[in-house]
A and B are shown apart, each in its own frame.
Chain A
Amino acid sequence: MYFRQIFLIACLSSLVASLGFSLYQWYLVNPIIFAAELYELAQPLDLAISEHALEQTEPWAPDDGLERSLYTLLANFLMCLAYSLLLSCAMVFRGTSSTLKGLAWGIAAYLSVFVAPGLGLPPEIPGMQAADLDQRQNWWLLTVSLTGVGLAVIAFSPRYYKGAGLILMLLPHLIGAPTSALHGFSHPDPQAVATLTELWHQFILQTSIANALLWFIIGSSTGFLCHRFIDPVPPLQPTKLTKA
């Protein structure tokens, strides 16, 4: 019962959220990615053909234009579905829900999934040099989980445990995000590097707004839908039923 309701709620909420997010992304985020890719492709041959590129000969990728946009739309929807599933599970686990509670959950999720990992690993545009992918993914997962748990501890535990939540949130930043010696842009032209840096700053600003919008919609809509469709469900009481 709960599973079905939550899945349907997540579908509805992610439809709305992915539509809003995709529109914002299409007009204000994607142009920055495309602009950065032009520089990525224009890199000199010896830089462009790294070992990485030699190992993998032309893997499939959606064609630019409509096909690429459709795949992005699908990926946005699936990502929103996953986020919405996780958020509504957490909310239902904690008890009743409302639009406002959902919004609070959404803000907490924005802090733990976007802001906290972004402090160590800022959003990146294509063509940036960065540390080893596995290390960055591990640090991302660690930061997101610890910040999420930390915020939950601060919000729900008795007062004398709240400090532990703060420590949990700080821990990944004390460990430090993986960095590479060559962070930045490897493009040889200083003019291009200046343009790319400007694009990167724009990108950080726009993704911050886009993700805030994403979590605003996911949070408030799952809160509203959980309140509407899960709270009214009377809890089953097997002991009474078996007696009858």
Chain B
Amino acid sequence: MNTHNPATLEQSVPVDTTKNVQLIAATALGIIILFGVGFAPMDIAHNAAHDTRHSVAFPCH
């Protein structure tokens, strides 16, 4: 796919590492979003996501 990309040619980091770094980044993004929707203690976040938090049984109130 990207065989003509010079960056790919010169890649010296093992592939598994770059794959894992990307997976960790995506996981971190997921955790941050989940924290914002389900756990952020601010009233604004709580009130906006109130019905969602109750429906998926996050600890609420």
Contacts and interface: CB of A to CB of B under 8 A. Distances in A.
Given A30-B51, A125-B54, A238-B11, A86 B30 contact: yes
Given A2-B26, A236-B11, A207 B59 contact: no
A152 interface: no
Contact of B15 (A3, A89, A118, A237): A237
B10 to A, nearest CB: 7
Interface string B1-33: 111000011111111001110110111011101
Interface on chain A toward B: helix, strand, loop, or mixed SS?
helix
Nearest to A232: B1
Interface stretch (A53-61, A155-163, A168-176): A53-61
Nearest to A72: B51
B57 A122 contact: yes
Nearest to A136: B59
B55 to A, nearest CB: 5
Interface residues of A, number: 63
A140 interface: yes
Nearest to B33: A82
Given A25-B55, A207-B57, A237-B15, A81 B33 contact: yes
Interface string B27-44: 101110110111101011
A121 B57 CA distance: 8
Interface in A221-239: 233-238
Given A82-B34, A85-B29, A75 B44 contact: no
A107 B30 CA distance: 19
A201 interface: no
B34 A79 contact: yes
Contacts of A85: 26-27, 29-30, 33
B56 A60 contact: no
10 contacts: A6-B22, A7-B26, A59-B44, A79-B33, A82-B37, A83-B34, A140-B59, A207-B57, A211-B55, A234-B1
Q: Which 3 A-B pairs have the closest CB atoms?
A: A85-B30, A59-B43, A75-B49
